[in-house]
Structure 1
Amino acid sequence: MLKRVLPTALLATFLFSCQQKSTSDLSYSISSVTRDSITQLHIKMEFAADTSGVTNLSFPNEAWGETDLYQTLGSIQLLNVEGAIEKDLDSGRIVLMHPKNVERLKVEYLLQQDFDGELSSRAVYRPIINQDYFHLFSHNMFMVPENTDDKIDISLSWADFPEDYTIHNSFGSGEREQSLVDMDKNQFGNAIFVGGDFRVFDGEVKGNKISLATRGEWVPFKDEEVFEVLDQTLTHQRNFWGDHSQGYFTVTMQPFPQEMGSSFQGTGLTNSFATSVSNNDFTEIGQMVYLFNHELMHNWIGHTIQNDNEEEQYWFSEGFTEYYTFKNIAKNKINGLDGAFFIQEINRTIRDLYASPVVEAPNAEINYENFWTNYDYSKLPYWRGAVFAFYLDLKIQETSNGKKSLNDVMHRLYADATSKNQKLTHDYFLTVLNDYWKGDFESFFQKHIEEGQKVDLVGLFSDLELEFSPMSDIYELGFTFSDDRKSIASVVEGSAAWQAGVRKGDEVFSRSIWQGSIDHDVELGLRRNGQELKIAYRPITKAEVPQLESTQENIQKLGF
């Protein structure tokens, strides 16, 4: 059931004890002020001083891809003692120098937005503070003393905000006084805080509170539609894992304007998931279905079942998450999607994998540098891992005569992670799969994950008597940009780009490219010998890429 909560209502949550120390280890008082016609947040904090006479406050100048965050900091003052304050940009800390005999320090500081104009996708991870609302993450809002224990009592007081001003965050909704007892400092540092004209919707999953906080006038969908997707997603994912342990969970969603195309960002946080979504006709509810299901599935795959070595096991944490995103949506008909959707997404993933220029790159090449700087490598573990999971699921079902599936493997991984703190290593994965696989799984894993060779989908589909086409259209851009992306460096002769007239050396003055999509034209504005050319073409080529037919028989055989 969906219930809209007015901003003045208080949402009680059992996460926090009503008992408070006379003085918390760390206390904050947050209020809104206007200085020189600029809306800012005024934060006062109190905490134990370091006996050395130097207390360091953690406040990164660079975080989550953002730099120069100290630009958002206004004046910082010691309130109860004489002393000095220094900003250490390199270490990301504020250094307080004070008398050694002081037991507790009181500090105040101001925060303000450091960009003008409308919000864009480039600014969503910076502090957003204006007369209508604020949107911040812990690391760019709260200074935290470095001399505290890992678990501390924290109090938050939201003072002097109007009665109709929403206060909402990773730790509760509508509460003007919050007591976070025995709070893990890392969890506090990984949270979202919003306020202002946000609308809050709330509900329950097996007695546990869930909520959606959003604002603005949405063009592509209604608030109630988004909340319904969130409710369905959390209900079915928690049912799958048999995990209803989370007493409170919220999703925040803020819109930003974008003229063409759609984009969205999502960040998993403590008790929460923060999203920013382009607000135009190019965005649709289906994208929220995918975003919620993929990112919230990471609560288990990637967070509870942790990679032992991040990039080395991205085929699992990203690829298996991708597969179970499709499977969870289709199995439970989230937003009305069913087995036809599953086949559509598996086919798309197979096409994307086969079209990748690094399709058979060994797993060792999916390293930190490649993954975070190269689009092809960043997508490879999603596609390879999802297709690998799909193959394993069908083979386990086939060899067990339908008595077992990849679900049994996932539940065992989850049980070991929660009861033994077992992390996902390749050796551990091999040990588990040996109980479900007929034959030499180590060699199979070595060939298709470690070495990166494609699995035999044609053989699989034939063995299972699934209807499929052996050929398909796949994405081929057909040319490469120069390093500065201002000209054409090379063109694949005979490609759609070549046939449309793209040539090496052409200067590029405009472009519209839906990366990886075979459903949208590439549109280029080119200059050649002083002449401007407008070129459009569909970036496809035929290839031996097996694709499942979306027939009722196939849907039933796949278990939907």
Structure 2
Amino acid sequence: MFKRALLTGLLATFLFACNQKPKADICYTITPVKVDSISQLKIRMSIPADTSGVTTLSFPNEAWGQEKLFNTLGEMRLLNVEGVVEKDMDSSRIVLMHPKDTEQLEFEYFLKQDFDGDLSTGRIYRPIINKAYFHAFSHNMFMVPEKTESNQDIVLDWSAFPEDYTIHNSFGSQKRVQELKDMDMALFGNAIFVGGDFRVLSGDIQGNQISLATRGEWIPFQEEEVFQVLERTLTCQRNFWNDHSQEYFTVTMQPFPQETGSSFQGTGLTNSFATSISNNDFTDIEQLVYLFNHELMHNWIGHVIKNENEEEQYWFSEGFTEYYTFKNIATNKINGLTGAFYIREVNRTIRDLYASPVVEAPNAEINYDNFWGNRDYSKLPYWRGAVFAFYLDQKIRETSKGKQSLDDVMHQIYKDVKAKDQKLTHAYFIKVMKEFLGDDFEAFFQKHIEEGAKVDLYGLFDELGLEYDPMNDIYELGFTFTEDRKGIQSVVEGSAAWNAGLREGDEVFSRSIWQGSIDHEVELGVKRNGKRLEFAFYPIKKAMVPQLKETESNIGKLGF
């Protein structure tokens, strides 16, 4: 009797609380709690029950490179009915078994951080929950019913958090109760949620809210500097596309410790971009200028302008995004960077492309397996596409005597997407380009994108009267590691690595390598015949690779 009365009392209390909220298909109530002195989040769900007596919730056990995400789940229980809760890790489901005549389910689960120690790049995509803050992505924070419509009314109730506790996410800032009307569940599942000691810097662009949420004490820059870069970047990009339709956009910026070198990663999400950055003196604001301008350009190239076949058109979605990253930075002088920066980035991209062992691989080889499993192929569409875009930009400017540029091509593609839901296909791109460069473009595209041949940059530079050096240094590591990266498998004879003294069979005990950089020395510590040896060398070789000179004449001829 007491047990039944207690259950009835709990149900009445919970239903009273939910009835105070706006009506919704799915209601989440999030509460900070301590379990055995460990900070966790208690999440209560109110959802319709399946008439079969079995309601399944989706919660991926593996996602975004993370495994065993079920380890982040604590206690789970049904609140309003007697039933059974089961974890199905293989199918990434939580199974709720309940009486068939149940109309509404009240379910509660606890979410916890499942690792100790410092934050690192390998842990960013797991739920982070401690006494100071939380940081989690929607897919590993909120369970969602599997049998549901594609659009749902959702309520998020954060009212149990202290008033001075920041609540910030992809759908708003500092709102204790959030109503997400007719929410696309795919968009809801692709969001970021942070809270606690995050600081929020806010502004607006033509009446649309933008914000930066960050925490910690930054070493390499001031957060106000970062917000200025974000604001300037978004303003220029939205002006370029003449698109100021997004009413809310936020960037979350999470620091993590790293002793040497710099690293950063970011993920484009619904109304947001979540980034994590090494917090040390090796990181600088210019890296964020690049990061924001590349990743936020994907709001249009890749998100609005979609590839028909993903990897097949990566030369466009990644390569053209890369090109417009440094073109728009220089055009708009973001963070004071100008035409000289544009030339440096064009030169760097040319060097990277020419140094690639798959520089002339056909486009068909940029497939799913190669792109995601081989670094050379994963970088190829960025470099090839960016150099191709640079070439087209200059050819269109020359042919039209400066009246048109690749910008006009991009605007035409965007116009067709908005008017006709056009996808980016090879045939469509060729059709658009013929209006600017004539019928010969089809054969040109076949040769340089489909077949992978390098464009004639020497001819282009001569034609435009640009000053350049025909032979330059490009990156060559000069050796390969063994599969376990603990030894030297082979060394290219005559390379800088060979001349420094590195040999096949050396056992590696330390290394410092700036992948792709010709400006930083490779440093290796190896053991050979019981002796410890150390080598340092610049990973370069001379090659026929044209590089533009940073002259005022070149800057002007390139349109700056």
Bin of the TM-score, shorter chain as denominator length: over 0.9
The reply on whether 1:336 has 2:336 as its aligned counterpart is: yes
Q: Secondary structure at the match of 1:395?
A: helix
Which range moved further: 416-425 or 318-327? 416-425
Alignment of 1:490-501 (within 5 A): 490-501=490-501
Name the % identity: 73
2:262 — aligned with what? 262
1:460 — aligned with what? 460
Alpha-carbon distance in structure 2 between the residues aligned to 1:305 and 1:495 = 43
Cα displacement (A) at 1:275: 0.4
1:286 — aligned with what? 286
Alpha-carbon distance in structure 1 between the residues aligned to 2:204 and 2:72 = 37
1:189 — aligned with what? 189
| Matching residue's letter, 2:527 | R
Cα displacement (A) at 1:441: 1.0
2:11 — aligned with what? none
Alpha-carbon distance in structure 2 between the residues aligned to 1:76 and 1:89 = 15
| Matching residue's letter, 1:273 | F
Q: Secondary structure at the match of 2:29?
A: strand
Cα displacement (A) at 1:538: 0.5
1:6 — aligned with what? none
The number of aligned residues is 541
Alpha-carbon distance in structure 1 between the residues aligned to 2:401 and 2:191 = 46
2:425 — aligned with what? 425
Alignment of 1:39-54 (within 5 A): 39-54=39-54
8 A Cα contact 2:54 2:95, kept in partner: yes
Alignment of 1:508-523 (within 5 A): 508-523=508-523
Alpha-carbon distance in structure 2 between the residues aligned to 1:439 and 1:187 = 41
Question: What does the per-residue CA deviation read over 1:175-194, in whole Å, with 9 as the maximum and x for residues that have no partner?
Answer: 00100011101111000000
| Matching residue's letter, 1:454 | K
Question: What does the per-residue CA deviation read over 1:64-87, in whole Å, with 9 as the maximum and x for residues that have no partner?
Answer: 110100000001101111111111
Question: What does the per-residue CA deviation read over 1:144-168, in whole Å, with 9 as the maximum and x for residues that have no partner?
Answer: 0112211110000003211111000
2:481 — aligned with what? 481
Alpha-carbon distance in structure 1 between the residues aligned to 2:441 and 2:238 = 30
Alpha-carbon distance in structure 2 between the residues aligned to 1:442 and 1:339 = 31
| Matching residue's letter, 1:42 | K
Alignment of 1:200-239 (within 5 A): 200-239=200-239
Alpha-carbon distance in structure 1 between the residues aligned to 2:90 and 2:461 = 56
| Matching residue's letter, 1:479 | F
TM-score (ref. length: structure 1): 0.96
1:9 — aligned with what? none
Alpha-carbon distance in structure 2 between the residues aligned to 1:138 and 1:171 = 11
Cα displacement (A) at 1:545: 0.3
2:410 — aligned with what? 410
2:12 — aligned with what? none
Alignment of 1:29-428 (within 5 A): 29-428=29-428
Alpha-carbon distance in structure 2 between the residues aligned to 1:100 and 1:426 = 53
Q: Secondary structure at the match of 1:422?
A: coil
Alpha-carbon distance in structure 1 between the residues aligned to 2:495 and 2:320 = 33
8 A Cα contact 2:478 2:492, kept in partner: yes
Which range moved further: 20-29 or 386-395? 20-29
Which range moved further: 231-240 or 424-433? 424-433
Cα displacement (A) at 1:509: 1.1
Question: What does the per-residue CA deviation read over 1:99-149, in whole Å, with 9 as the maximum and x for residues that have no partner?
Answer: 111111010000000010110111000000000000000000000011221
8 A Cα contact 1:78 1:106, kept in partner: yes
Unaligned runs of at least 5 residues, structure 1 = 1-19
Unaligned runs of at least 5 residues, structure 2 = 1-19
Cα displacement (A) at 1:438: 3.2
| Matching residue's letter, 1:105 | L
Q: Secondary structure at the match of 2:238?
A: helix
Q: Secondary structure at the match of 2:383?
A: helix
Cα displacement (A) at 1:21: 8.3
Alpha-carbon distance in structure 2 between the residues aligned to 1:401 and 1:50 = 66
> What is the Cα-based RMSD across aligned positions, in Å?
0.9
| Matching residue's letter, 2:287 | Q
Alpha-carbon distance in structure 2 between the residues aligned to 1:133 and 1:293 = 28
Q: Secondary structure at the match of 2:435?
A: coil
Alpha-carbon distance in structure 1 between the residues aligned to 2:439 and 2:312 = 24
8 A Cα contact 1:128 1:134, kept in partner: yes
8 A Cα contact 1:312 1:363, kept in partner: yes
8 A Cα contact 2:22 2:179, kept in partner: no
| Matching residue's letter, 1:475 | Y
8 A Cα contact 1:256 1:279, kept in partner: yes
Question: What does the per-residue CA deviation read over 1:294-338, in whole Å, with 9 as the maximum and x for residues that have no partner?
Answer: 000000001100011111110000000000000110000000000
8 A Cα contact 2:154 2:183, kept in partner: yes
Alpha-carbon distance in structure 2 between the residues aligned to 1:300 and 1:251 = 17
TM-score (ref. length: structure 2): 0.96
8 A Cα contact 1:399 1:438, kept in partner: no
Question: What does the per-residue CA deviation read over 1:171-213, in whole Å, with 9 as the maximum and x for residues that have no partner?
Answer: 0000001000111011110000000000000001111000000
Alpha-carbon distance in structure 1 between the residues aligned to 2:486 and 2:366 = 28
8 A Cα contact 2:319 2:389, kept in partner: yes
Which range moved further: 274-283 or 430-439? 430-439
Cα displacement (A) at 1:439: 4.4
8 A Cα contact 2:330 2:339, kept in partner: yes
Q: Secondary structure at the match of 2:87?
A: strand
Alpha-carbon distance in structure 1 between the residues aligned to 2:138 and 2:168 = 13
| Matching residue's letter, 2:221 | F
Cα displacement (A) at 1:22: 4.9
